[in-house]
Amino acid sequence: MSAQNFKRTKFACYTAYFTMSSIFSLPPLLFVTLRETFGISYTLLGTLVLTNFCTQLTVDLIFTLFSKHFNVKKVVKAMPLITSAGLLIYAIMPSFFPQHAYAWLLVGTVIFSVSAGLSEVLLSPVIAAIPSKNPQKDMSLLHSLYAFGVFSVVVISTLFFKLFGAENWMYLTIFFACLPVSAAVLFMTSPMPDMSVSDTGSKNLSSTKKKAVGLALCTACIFFGSCAENAMSNWISGFMENALHIDKALGDILGMAMFAILLGVARIMYAKYGKNIFRVLLCGMIGAAVCYVVAGFSSGVVPAFAACILTGLFTAMLWPGTLIMMEENIPGAGVAAYALMASGGDLGASVAPQLMGIVVDKVSLTSFAAEIGASFNLTAEQVGMKAGMLVNSIFPIIGIVVVLVCMRYFKKNKA
């Protein structure tokens, strides 16, 4: 089939990725409301985030090892409905059973996290399998829609809470649960391209070893890139509120939303003008490392604020760019390879934000933080936040080395 025959399929992938953003960005916006409504502790709310990423990681690993046992085309078509089901349970059941509210929130989280894991594993290979004159543009555009989805969720949620009150959070969640249905309808009325569920390239031992090393390097690259992106995206709201003393609503709109906008704009720009993915990845890692260091060391609000937002610009291509690097340098990579890459990305999205929280808690309680804070007119918590940023700068710094190794390895093997 020609590319024209798959226009609806491509649009279905874009719609699914856009609507999936609510899975990641909506629950953190509801945490304070859920705590006040159902008396759920912050520790248990944090466990919901951990459950989200652990479930996704499990799905990634299952598809890495057993992708040939799944009917990929049917799973793709069912995926948006799983998202809707999880969000509906998350929204409705806690109100009907408030004494078991957390259990139902956990059930809903597991269900929509399965869908999120499937989306990361399957949507990229679907896009890659569709005939295109510019496959890099299509892949970059797919990932940009997630960023614009996050921006939309933040803005819509902020306006909803201002107009109708946070106590009506369940109606907002039901609204977001209805959106993936449109993607399901599009998938069910669209042709699906043929996709390899495993490596379709050469099976000789030398080629297999080279591809295994290449995939390992790509997985390491996407891990450190995901760390760089998600440490900031998960903590930018808290950092601006607690470390920079910016109003939460203002911080969410100017911080979290602007981060997402720059994330999306950079991906759109690469889709339109981008080339030389190695250089893009290297510049992204370097820029992200500088942003974390500036956010950690800067004593001024404006430089730290700018560094947080600009991290979105520099980390924008680290995840999709690594997929592009894999496609260009490892021919015949199938669904299992994309699943392995997704597992690396999800592991990074779990490790870096968790490390940030640990560093903030540990450093804030030390006498060293109190002494440093007294010297620079900062609270111990502010010192802890800044220390967390500095510690997380290690991920893009190591990422620089990994990208350089990837450049040398792939160029050597091409030659």
pLDDT value at residue 181: 95
Domains identified in the chain, total number: 2
What's residue 224's pLDDT? 97
pLDDT at res. 4:
58
The answer to whether 318 and 220 have CB atoms below 8 angstroms apart is no
CATH number for 52? 1.20.1250.20
- The residues, ordered by sequence, that sit 6+ positions from 287 with a Cβ below 8 Å of its Cβ are 310, 313, 314
11 CB contacts (<8 Å, ≥6 apart)?
Answer: 186
What pLDDT was estimated at residue 227?
95
| Residue 224 and residue 170 share a domain | no
Is residue 197 included in any domain, yes or no? no
Instruction: Give exposure, 111-133, as e/b (b: 16+ Cβ within 10 Å).
Output: bbbbbbbbbbbbbbbbbbbbeee
Q: Do residues 77 and 45 share a domain?
A: yes
Q: Which of 134, 156, 189 represents a domain boundary (last residue)?
A: 189
| Contact indicator for 311, 305 with CB cutoff of 8 Å | no
Positions of the chain with pLDDT under 50 = 200-202, 205
Q: Which residue range is the domain that position 306 belongs to?
A: 207-415
pLDDT score of 197: 58
- 140 and 279, same structural domain? no
Quickly count: other Cβ atoms within 10 Å of residue 165's Cβ: 10
Asked if residue 215 belongs to a domain, the reply is yes
Q: Provide the whole-model pTM.
A: 0.81
Residues 237 and 381 occupy one common structural domain: yes
